[in-house]
Amino acid sequence: MLDDLYAGALADAEARRELVSLADVEAAALARPPAFDAVAALRPADRVKIIAEVKRSSPSRGDLSDIADPASLAVSYAAGGASAISVLTEGRRFKGTLADLEAVRHVVDVPVLRKDFIADPYQVFEARAAGADLVLLIVAGLSQPRLLELHDLVRSLGMTALIETHSADEVRRGLDAGAELLGVNARDLTTFELDRDLFGRLADGIPSGVVRIAESAVASPDDVAHYRRAGADVVLVGEALVTHGDPVDALTRFLEV
């Protein structure tokens, strides 16, 4: 599944490159105002922080929400206390677009994450050109040299990488790459199985100076509390927010833990 997701994302990026050259996307990226300081926004505090996600669909659950107006949803998230907004931009399985990210960037004053299957510098320049402050880099999908290359590029553009891991070895690789934000995804992207306790088993391997982010397997405030007790500074929540009738109410309950 992970290989298919990367192959599709790279094919779509290549199609966009045929319409807009790397040089033009790079120029647009460099012309953007400075990115928000995502590390400062997500730094550990006396209560958990939430990255709220704009997510229409997923390979594991299918359609979740139409989200005709991602900007409006993002405004609600920010008003509800989200410290950052994640926007799925992968189109084949998650039904997202870079236009969604651009729309969100125009209306919120918190960091915005491009969540996609990033494996090529072109995609990183696209992210900055669209206004992203954060870029997801998934260790399982990248060789160590490519991870280092993309992480360096992300930083050179003033953005921050959220380095996502699924094992102790991947945590070590993410730290070796210089991760400031390190996520542990409870969903194994090769099998799509969930393990809510994975974060707790890996958290001790993440130094205190690195922001610890728990991802996936969040359905209720109890799940957020579970991650917080295990040492999470930040919890990324998508499905539980977009399927709730009142996302602000859901977000408020998550933050109250």
Residue 63's DSSP bridge partners are 57
Question: Is 185 a known active-site residue?
Answer: yes
Question: Is 76 a known active-site residue?
Answer: no
Question: Is 49 a known active-site residue?
Answer: no
Whether the CB-CB separation of 186 and 214 falls below 8 Å is answered with: yes
Which one is catalytic: 90, 164, 170, 239?
164
Which one is catalytic: 58, 170, 185, 239?
185
Which one is catalytic: 65, 83, 86, 216?
216
Q: What is the C-alpha to C-alpha distance for residues 164 and 50, in angstroms, rounded to an integer?
A: 16
Question: Is 90 a known active-site residue?
Answer: no
Question: Is 126 a known active-site residue?
Answer: no
Whether the CB-CB separation of 26 and 56 falls below 8 Å is answered with: no
Sign of the four-CA dihedral 75, 80, 86, 91: negative
Question: Is 239 a known active-site residue?
Answer: no
Which one is catalytic: 95, 115, 170, 239?
115
Which one is catalytic: 55, 58, 102, 126?
55
Question: Is 149 a known active-site residue?
Answer: no
Which one is catalytic: 53, 90, 102, 170?
53
Which one is catalytic: 26, 126, 170, 215?
215
Task: Enumerate the active-site residues.
Answer: 53, 55, 115, 164, 185, 215-216
